[in-house]
Chain A
Amino acid sequence: MLETLINIFHLIFSESFILTVVTASTPLLLASSGELMVERSGVLNLGVEGMMIVGAACGFAGAWLSGSILVGALSGIIAGAALSGMFGILTLGLAVNQVATGLALTIFGVGLSGLIGAKFVGEKIAPAAHLHLPMLTDLPGVGRILFGEDPFVYVSVALIIGIWLFLYRSRPGLVLRAVGDNHASAHALGYPVLRIRMLAVLFGGACAGLAGAYLPLAYTPFFIPGMTSGRGWIALALVVFASWRPGRLVIGAYLFGAVSILGLALQPLQLGIPQQVMNMLPYLATVVVLVLISRARGTAGSAAPASLGLVFVPDR
């Protein structure tokens, strides 16, 4: 028993386990960061999975054609933003139902990515190079974890810090939150509700596209249709799980990533836990934390935007 616990301890705190967790969590964090901004502005875009998979296809195409990971990442960002632009035109410009449009966007994205990616199936690229700083990266234990990740990881961390600063420490962030909480009042105060929402939607699409591009550029360096395998939906759930707060979003994304890797890595240790339970663990952990957070609601509170998903048509 004690020996098993020591084994598990060694496993969890091993460098390679943590590196794997970071890789698994990064696409979730990237995609959910963008969706958090979108939802804080009062728009519910359920098309994250679709934008991610198109970002993956375009990201791979860009990198393969140019030979540059940076061009690939930018292609993914642009593709995601373009797709979200379509969503924005429909839901904001034409006031179409957001839930239906978001779902349609996912179905459309899955098809489109197959079409774009068809030429690239079976091709491979060199994955994004990992950071290497002399001295720092070679530090025992934490060196590779802190200073030896791929560039996307640092971008994802910078992004969520930036989002936090924007939302809570800047005036435009305050306006964006106001638009999400009460679009009628914001409109009455003279803020351009639809324009602000459109920008948020584009930003969310760009993040989802980058998250998608991460898969073929760093995670598994090849493109295959459907390779996002539902990560967009997890990202969506994480935003709710984090009660729309950036800090909790980081915890949520890494918790989900860590528990899902743990569920895989523990299987060969034969602890007698059925593998179905292991595969359930990340979802289970998410639900448990959700419950704990909502219990603590009196003090910590959810930041659910009051106008989330509601159609806004300016009254003049």
Chain B
Amino acid sequence: MKKLNIIAVLAVLVLGVMTFGAVHAADKLKVGFIYVGPVGDLGYTYQHEVGRRALQKALNDKVETTYLENVPEGADAERAIEQLARAGNKLIFTTSFGFMDATVKVAAKYPNVFFEHATGFKRAKNLATYAARFYEGRYIQGQIAGKMTKSNIIGYIVSFPIPEVISGINATMLGAQSVNPNVKFKIIWVNSWFDPGKEADAAKALIDQGADILTQHTDSPAAMQIAEQRGIHAFGQSSDMIKFGPHAQLTADTDYWGNYYIDRAKLVLDGKWKSDDTWDGLDKGMVVMAPYTNMPDDVKAMAKKTEEAIRTHALHPFKCPIVDQNGKTVECKGGDRLDNGQILSMNWYVKGIDDKVPGQ
């Protein structure tokens, strides 16, 4: 009997949600989002969700947003994206690198729908790409780490050897070297974006091997918690993780997509949307540093100064000359800095990192 009640309640809820959706569908711009993880991952997907909510709030009377979370990268993604297109969404954001080919396919099928793919490089007339310059924040983190470390060993927990991650490691090292030439990195690849247990194990191993600052390119706050327990410092990733490391977090390299989502939706509403390749950073507020905490005032002042310099383009983290780990000077295709292509396809380490890029 109890069970029947529960089923009845569930059925009513489902029907309710469906009718609610149908009633509100009238002539608003429908915007769909595809997420690779759960909205509650406290990291990458969560930040996209924050952006979606900002869009909904800013243009509440003009747009209606929906999302599909936990969509696996690959064949299933195509079905999910198409589902959003069929449901009448006119602007669809696919928020992970692995959705690239699926987005390209669906975009070809629905020429009247605008697609936006995050962190990819394939574009079409109705398919734009966008990404954030995460490495800008990592350069600042490197400087802070270089100043704060006593053991001169920085522990770095990483997911997969893709260019975004490699350029993050390099930017951190370049930042660290700009204030401390003796910094060494110890790097552990956990081969997962998200496995809290493994991230915690890697953090423990790094601390045991002398690291007194942790940084990560994986998504959970596990490493931050270990840093807090062991009394060392760490940087948050994607989201502000201060809650998990009130005495440990120095800052966090966070993504903020709200401004971009609002801009793009406005362009569609005004009929001015066109396919673009957007790659913004601190300057447009797409990368935002969490408050600088648990550090002396002079380090904080230095971090703020560097942040300002990067924001105003006075400083570029990949300014030349840059020497790779084999001692070869890297060609500067962007004049006085590496160009976007070089950063987006980075598969080599800068001098000073004595690890090897996996698979190279």
Contact = CB atoms under 8 A, between A and B. Distances in A.
Contact of B209 (A23, A230, A268): A268
Contacts of B205: 17, 20, 261, 264-265, 268
Interface stretch (B22-30, B189-197, B255-263): B189-197
A122 interface: yes
A221 to B, nearest CB: 7
Contact of A274 (B202, B204, B244, B359): B359
A268 B200 contact: no
Interface string A1-37: 0000000000100101100100110010000000000
Contacts of B199: 220
Interface in B153-201: 155, 186-192, 194-201
B225 A224 contact: no
A269 B40 CA distance: 35
Contacts of A221: 225
Contacts of B225: 124, 220-222
Contacts of A122: 40, 42, 243
Interface in A249-283: 260-261, 264-265, 267-270, 272, 274-276, 278-279
Interface residues of B, number: 39
A227 interface: yes
Contacts of B194: 224, 226, 229
Nearest to A124: B244
B189 A275 contact: yes
Interface stretch (A113-121, A148-156, A189-197): A113-121
Interface string B31-67: 0000001101110000000000000000000000000
B40 A114 contact: yes
Interface in B128-150: none
B206 A268 contact: yes
A274 B358 contact: yes
B217 to A, nearest CB: 14
Contacts of B204: 16, 20
Contacts of A220: 196-197, 199-200, 220, 222, 225
Contacts of B201: 20, 23-24, 260-261, 264
A110 to B, nearest CB: 8
Contacts of A114: 38, 40, 70
Interface in A186-209: none
A270 B42 contact: no
Nearest to B209: A268
A272 B205 CA distance: 18
* Chain A at the B interface: SS class: helix
Contact of B208 (A17, A118, A225, A260): A17
A312 interface: no
A215 interface: yes
B354 interface: yes
A41 to B, nearest CB: 25
A276 B355 CA distance: 14
B221 interface: yes
Contacts of A231: 197
Given A222-B225, A267-B188, A276 B244 contact: no
A270 B243 contact: no
Contacts of A269: 209
A225 B40 contact: yes
Contacts of B195: 229-230
Contact of A264 (B42, B190, B243): B190
A229 B194 CA distance: 8
Contacts of A265: 205, 208-209
Contacts of A267: 187-189
Given A24-B197, A229-B198, A279 B222 contact: no
Nearest to B219: A224
A122 B225 CA distance: 12
29 contacts: A17-B205, A24-B197, A27-B197, A114-B38, A124-B225, A124-B244, A215-B196, A219-B200, A220-B197, A222-B196, A224-B196, A225-B38, A225-B70, A227-B220, A264-B188, A264-B202, A265-B208, A265-B209, A267-B188, A267-B189, A268-B205, A269-B209, A270-B354, A270-B356, A272-B356, A274-B358, A275-B191, A276-B191, A279-B190
Given A227-B196, A274-B359, 10 more contacts: A17-B205, A124-B243, A219-B196, A220-B197, A225-B41, A226-B37, A229-B192, A229-B198, A270-B355, A275-B189
Closest 3 CB pairs of A and B: A268-B186, A121-B40, A225-B38
